[in-house]
Amino acid sequence: MQGFTLSSGIGKIPNVEIFLGIEQLSRNPLALRGKSCKAVYSWGHKRYSKMSESLARSCGLSHIRLEDGFVCSFGRGGRHRKYSVVSDPVGIYYDSSRPSRLENILNNIDKCSWQLADRGIRSDAATLMQRLIDNRISKYNVRIDAVDSANDESPFVLVVDQTVGDQSVSFGGMQPDDFSEMLRQAVSEHGTENVLVKVHPEVLAGRKQGYLSEAALELGVKLVSDEISPHRLTQCKLAYVGTSLYGFELLLHQVPVVCFGQPFYSGWGLTEDRKPNSRRAINRNLLDVFIAAYLIYPTYVDPVVGGVCTLSDIVDHIIEQRRQLKRVGGNYRLLGITSWKKRYVDRYMMATEYNHQYVSLKELSELPATAANESSSIMVWGRGAEDSESEKLLQQHQVARMEDGFVRSVGLGSNFTAPRSLVVDDLGIYFDATKPSRLEYLLQNRDCTTSEIKRAESLIELLLENRISKYTSAEAGLTDISFYAGKRVLLVIGQVEGDASLRYGSVGVDSNFKLLQSVRAANPEALIVYKPHPDVVSGNRSDGIANYRDIADYCDHVETGLSIEITLNLCEQVHTMTSLAGLEALLCGKDVVTYGRPFYAGWGLTTDHCSFERRTRKRSLAELVYICYIEYPGYLDIESGEFTSVEKTIAALVEERQRQSDSLTASGLKKYVNIVRNIRKGLTYAA
């Protein structure tokens, strides 16, 4: 099934064919002659839409108008992925001069109108409607901070302005003078001091022009552009609107609405209408209109996995975007971010919503003393040596730290592969046991719900089933595991020499050589396998052991061929200083012995050689997994630029691993070609 459009913009919408339910959207006129062409598509009432309508008529095809749905994206503008699109073969919802499919649904003349009376749908819709209210979900969900007008509890009347050029104004029965009349009536009936004018944020920013700003100033009426908090809306006695969607959102908050135009929600008995629409003769309640407009009329597509989904899925997705927004909230000076990673970090830090600034160590040292007390704090990558110039300088500032998450990528970070997860820690950083971190705080204080525990248990199964680790390796091929057959093996995990987790997490045993000596001393008869870090095996890093013959007295086998996921399953017990592989071993049900202070130790799940004075709470494995893998990190879908879940990240890693199986095992020149490709991808990343 094909479709045709004159618009280049429609063709650029990600997942457009999924939204439209077709296999291909073409701009080639030859597509109009094909038997598989379904329709001609245009965007709303754009200038070319009349030509599209005539073209469809002459070809005997349907003409379908498209528009954003009412829960559309996280952020306004073309660069943000669309979550919903409406496809209307009748008209379009904001054009009150003719019917639309939305109007037909509410008039009981659409084939899907039966859903309005379905008890199951109504029950689910009521829950969804409340979720939108509770989570303050709107059409574009831009970063907005609710304002309570300095805790003002006085009743008020709201007049909602719109932007000049908004098609819903002219096609919704509104004239420019109608806005002035709206404001005059509000002031006349309620008094200047009781009226607020809600202007569009882009009007005050100077990017667009509104209808009421000047008139409000002349009348002495206060302007508000920020979101009005749900609490403050409880004091709103009445709202005057033209055709704005905000009027329907006010209805959701039980605010009475007077309509001076003919928006899709007017004419059904929910609003006081100054311009009644004779076609809308049925009384509908709020839930009816919500079901028609938010559930039946639009198509929702998951921006990450690219399949048709439900509004509930989109609500979950927006909540995750909001959670990540809160996690990185604030304006930061970023220090120590390598050039190839800056584009990714910009997206993790939501640079379009905040004013971040990259600084050098020299620029940081030249900041005036007052900068240390500004709201703009420092975000630094990782943690340097305690006596380094950067760490000494950072002591003067409020510092948050960033690092790779625990499900990072297919392939090594040292090969410049894109990070699919990062952590942002406002207290410390997870590998630094010398002081509290946000992760340690969560593990000590965060209570997990029953549903969160179940999700974590499912996540453990997913990680194990798909052999996912921090640096997910190539698919298992023919591997020699004969060494392990019928043997009880102790696995010693090697780490990179000078790794920050050793500097800030090791106590006494602070090198791979000392670790091997300690394990052998405690287990003189055991069969010991030493597994170097994958960065060491790849040649990118050193583990401080120049020749593996030097450790022959302390281990029986050096494992460089098998992945960590396979090796963990072949061993009975795991010994480590601070390696993340210790946590991955816990997932496999292995006994883990720690010789340092990794973040997962001290909670009753490991045998520890060190003490943990701050860690007094006992944790189950599921609780540990939920907090470490779900609560603490942020996951970014590289393709869409949207934050996502760990479960969807795992699915993407599995697909990527299958797609890149050859490059993951590349060596020599091909390996370095891949590294250059990864660097270029980071430098040009533009999601």
Instruction: Return d(Cα 399, Cα 604) in angstroms, integer.
Output: 30
Measured CA angle at 87 (ends 281, 174), to 5 deg: 50
Domains along the chain with CATH numbers: 2-115 (no CATH), 136-263 (3.40.50), 445-664 (3.40.50)
Instruction: Return d(Cα 394, Cα 359) in angstroms, integer.
Output: 13
Instruction: Return d(Cα 361, Cα 393) in angstroms, integer.
Output: 9
pLDDT in tens, 248-286: 999 999 999 999 999 999 999 999 999 999 999 899 999
Say which range, 156-165, 277-286, 442-451, 479-488, has the weakest mean pLDDT: 479-488
Q: According to the model, what pLDDT value does residue 204 have?
A: 66
Sheet containing 84-88: give its strands across.
24-26, 2-5, 37-43, 62-68, 84-88, 298-301, 308-309
Cα dist from 99 to 91, 222, 278, whole Å: 6, 37, 11
Q: According to the model, what pLDDT value does residue 413 have?
A: 65
> Which residues have a Cβ under 8 Å from the Cβ of 9 and sit 6 or more positions away?
43, 78
State the DSSP H helix or E strand holding residue 80, giving kind and residue range, or none if neither.
none
* DSSP E strand boundaries for 260-417: 272-273, 298-301, 308-309, 332-335, 357-358, 377-381, 399-404, 409-410
Say which range, 67-76, 228-237, 315-324, 407-416, has the weakest mean pLDDT: 407-416
Residue whose tokens read 């609780």: 623
Give the SS3 label for residue 687.
Answer: coil
Read off the pLDDT of each residue in 155-171 and give the average, rounded to a whole number: 94
Instruction: Return d(Cα 379, Cα 356) in angstroms, integer.
Output: 9
672 pLDDT band, cuts 50/70/90, is: low
Distance of CA 527 to the CA centre of its chain: 45
Instruction: Return d(Cα 22, Cα 31) in angstroms, integer.
Output: 13
594 pLDDT band, cuts 50/70/90, is: very high
Read off the pLDDT of each residue in 546-574 and give the average, rounded to a whole number: 91
8-state DSSP, 162 = -
Closest Cα to residue 615, out of 626, 625, 603?
603
Closest Cα to residue 295, out of 285, 307, 284, 310?
310
Closest Cα to residue 274, out of 199, 175, 191, 198?
175
Q: According to the model, what pLDDT value does residue 70 have?
A: 97
**Structure token digits, residue 481:** 């595991």
Give the SS3 label for residue 399.
Answer: strand
- The 10 Å CB-count burial string (b at 16+, else e) for 73-112 is bbbeeeebbbbbbbbbebbbbbbbeebbbbbbbbbeebee
Give the SS3 label for residue 371.
Answer: helix
Q: Assess contact for 634 and 643: CB atoms under 8 A.
A: yes
474 pLDDT band, cuts 50/70/90, is: low
683 pLDDT band, cuts 50/70/90, is: low
Mean pLDDT of the chain: 90
State the DSSP H helix or E strand holding residue 635, giving kind and residue range, or none if neither.
strand 633-636
Residue 373: pLDDT over 70:
no
Amino acid occupying residue 644 = T
Instruction: Return d(Cα 681, Cα 362) in angstroms, integer.
Output: 28
632 HSE (CA, 13 A, CB side): 31
189 pLDDT band, cuts 50/70/90, is: very high
Read off the pLDDT of each residue in 539-562 and give the average, rounded to a whole number: 88
Instruction: Return d(Cα 504, Cα 383) in angstroms, integer.
Output: 9
More confident residue, 583 or 365: 583
Q: According to the model, what pLDDT value does residue 585 have?
A: 96
Report the percentage of the chain scoring pLDDT > 90: 67
**Structure token digits, residue 373:** 């007390």
Residue whose tokens read 């549903």: 451
Q: According to the model, what pLDDT value does residue 687 have?
A: 61
Q: According to the model, what pLDDT value does residue 642 have?
A: 93
Q: Assess contact for 299 and 127: CB atoms under 8 A.
A: no
8-state DSSP, 221 = P
Residue 418: pLDDT over 90:
no
The dihedral built from the CA positions of residue 61, 67, 71 and 76, taken in this order, carries a sign that is positive
Bridge partners (DSSP) listed for residue 157: 195, 238
Residue 665: pLDDT over 80:
no
Residue whose tokens read 């790779």: 404
The dihedral built from the CA positions of residue 17, 20, 25 and 31, taken in this order, carries a sign that is positive
Residue 664: pLDDT over 60:
no
Q: Assess contact for 554 and 516: CB atoms under 8 A.
A: yes
Residue 685: pLDDT over 90:
no
Instruction: Return d(Cα 66, Cα 31) in angstroms, integer.
Output: 19
94 pLDDT band, cuts 50/70/90, is: very high
Residue whose tokens read 């990782």: 382
Amino acid occupying residue 641 = G
Q: Is the pTM of this model over 0.85?
A: yes
State the DSSP H helix or E strand holding residue 335, giving kind and residue range, or none if neither.
strand 332-335
Q: According to the model, what pLDDT value does residue 591 have?
A: 97
Q: According to the model, what pLDDT value does residue 35 have?
A: 84
**Structure token digits, residue 390:** 């950067």
Instruction: Return d(Cα 258, Cα 273) in angstroms, integer.
Output: 6
The dihedral built from the CA positions of residue 439, 321, 643 and 204, taken in this order, carries a sign that is negative
Closest Cα to residue 334, out of 368, 375, 377, 370?
377
Measured CA angle at 527 (ends 522, 532), to 5 deg: 90
Instruction: Return d(Cα 274, Cα 290) in angstroms, integer.
Output: 22
More confident residue, 374 or 643: 643
Instruction: Return d(Cα 24, Cα 151) in angstroms, integer.
Output: 53
Instruction: Return d(Cα 438, Cα 449) in angstroms, integer.
Output: 19
User: Phi, psi at residue 167, to the nearest 5°?
Assistant: -65, -25
Instruction: Return d(Cα 103, Cα 110) in angstroms, integer.
Output: 9
Read off the pLDDT of each residue in 96-113 and give the average, rounded to a whole number: 97
State the DSSP H helix or E strand holding residue 477, giving kind and residue range, or none if neither.
none
* DSSP E strand boundaries for 483-570: 489-493, 527-531, 557-558
Q: According to the model, what pLDDT value does residue 668 have?
A: 63
Q: According to the model, what pLDDT value does residue 628 have?
A: 98
Instruction: Return d(Cα 555, Cα 139) in angstroms, integer.
Output: 61
Instruction: Return d(Cα 126, Cα 112) in angstroms, integer.
Output: 18
Residue 4: pLDDT over 80:
yes
**Structure token digits, residue 48:** 């070319």
Cα dist from 528 to 484, 493, 510, whole Å: 11, 11, 19
Give the CA-trace dihedral at 363, 366, 367, 370, to 10 degrees: 170
Give the CA-trace dihedral at 136, 137, 143, 146, to 10 degrees: -20
571 pLDDT band, cuts 50/70/90, is: very high
Residue 525: pLDDT over 60:
yes
Report the percentage of the chain scoring pLDDT > 70: 92
pLDDT in tens, 386-396: 878 888 888 88
